[in-house]
Amino acid sequence: MSTASRVAAPIPTAHPATGAATSLLDAYAPGARFLATPGRTLLARGAALHVPHGAQPVDRRVADTLAEATDAGQPSPVVMGAIPFDHTEPAALSVPAELRTGPPLTSDPLIALPSPGTDSPGWRIRPVPEPEVYAKGVASAVERMWRGEFSKVVLARTLELTSPAPLDVPAMLQRLARRDPSGYTFALPTGPGRTLIGASPELLVSRRGRRLVANPLAGSAPRSDDLAEDVRRAAALLESAKDLHEHAVVVDAVHQALAPHCSGMAVPPRPTLIRTATMWHLSTTVTGTLSDPDTSALTLACALHPTPAVCGTPTATARRVLTETEPFDRGFFTGVVGWGDARGDGEWVVTIRCAEAEDRTLRLYAGAGVVAASEPEAETAETAAKFRTFLSAVGAEL
């Protein structure tokens, strides 16, 4: 039921064939590109063309590569891949040699079947930095905010997991996809023997025709296994002054970045909630109508990135602070992953709840938005809760 090289074609929503989406998930193998969104499932193999690195903006280089693919005879070329947090650094984007597409995972009844069992291979876990060091970084940032240097920064930390056996990336992908099938699940090569894998809840921007959608998330609370406590945490998040302020800053930045490209926009006055298996998030769905139909989804993504949800505000100051504070290179974490076609349609997702897999090593990433009202212990606990998405997929515990 899949089609080749026709991502832009409408995806059937009425009674899609059982197995049409999960067959693509099952067919994934390392080196392929897999992306599942609420609208479609994509599996790509090989590369007809790679998007080159260069001085031009990444959206311009992608447009040129898609035009080259069209000139070479591809009827509906698509680019897929990942862009790092610093999008002046080399991206991992290509036009696939082979592309199969299907309906979303949530439309496939087989997605409810159990995922493969967790191997629990005896992980060695090393936090970078140590939680106490991370908390001190949060405290230092809060102190600087009270002095008026900036108003928000997103500080991240990592876990380095080492396995005694080679990693089973397809099994990890299965667990991530089946646990949160309504999100954005991906596995993409970012270098020789290296895979970026994750399950992000956050759409940066999508475009179909002249309609755009952005779904910024900011303000979070960990889920609870106890139903009553879980509901209490959700209700508290909706009333949290600290989280509502953090969320409003992000929504305003998204509005300001997209407004110059739109003839009309709709921004709800208050956020709603979305949930993953491990977290509650404040969520606002921003919609708009493009004034210029030639503005691509990736151009919009570049205009938005990095939002205060992954960097902070003011942006330049926040980037400097996180670079000074985080003892690692973010790489593709808090960058974007997704797809785009030659007509400008596409979906680009914020690269969170992710890890980089290489040989026997996984590096997990998680960040928290730090504002003047933040408490170091609470932000450290929030990153620990966000790690749970991936730790549960590999059978590891902090």
> Which of the residues are catalytic?
152, 202
Q: What is the largest CA-CA distance in the chain?
A: 59
* 3-class secondary-structure state, position 335: coil
Type and span of the H or E element at 38: none
User: Which H or E run contains 69?
Assistant: helix 58-71
Determine contact, residues 218/309, Cβ cutoff 8 Å: yes
Buried b (16+ CB within 10 A) or exposed e, 168-198: bbbbbbbbbbbbbbbbbbbbbbbeeebbbbb
What is the CB neighbour count within 10 angstroms for residue 20? 21
3-state secondary structure of 18: coil
Can you tell me the distance from the alpha carbon of 382 to that of 284, in angstroms, rounded to the nearest whole number? 20
Which structure tokens are listed for 301?
Answer: 């993504």
Token pair listed for 230: 């879980």
CA atoms within 13 A on the CB side of 193: 7
| Residue 234 near residue 279 (C-beta atoms within 8 A) | no
Q: Compute the distance between CA of residue 226 and CA of residue 61 in angstroms, rounded to an integer.
A: 49
Query: How many helices (H) and strands (E) in the chain?
Result: 9, 23
Per-residue DSSP letters for 126-187?
A: EEES-HHHHHHHHHHHHHHHHTTS-SEEEEEEEEEEE-SS---HHHHHHHHHHHSTTSEEEE
Both tokens of residue 306? 């990095």
Read off φ and ψ for residue 114, nearest 5 degrees.
-60, 145
Report the alpha-carbon distance of residue 25 to residue 2 in Å, rounded.
Answer: 12
> How far is Cα of residue 334 from the mean position of the Cα atoms in its chain?
7
Q: Which amino acid is at 222?
A: P
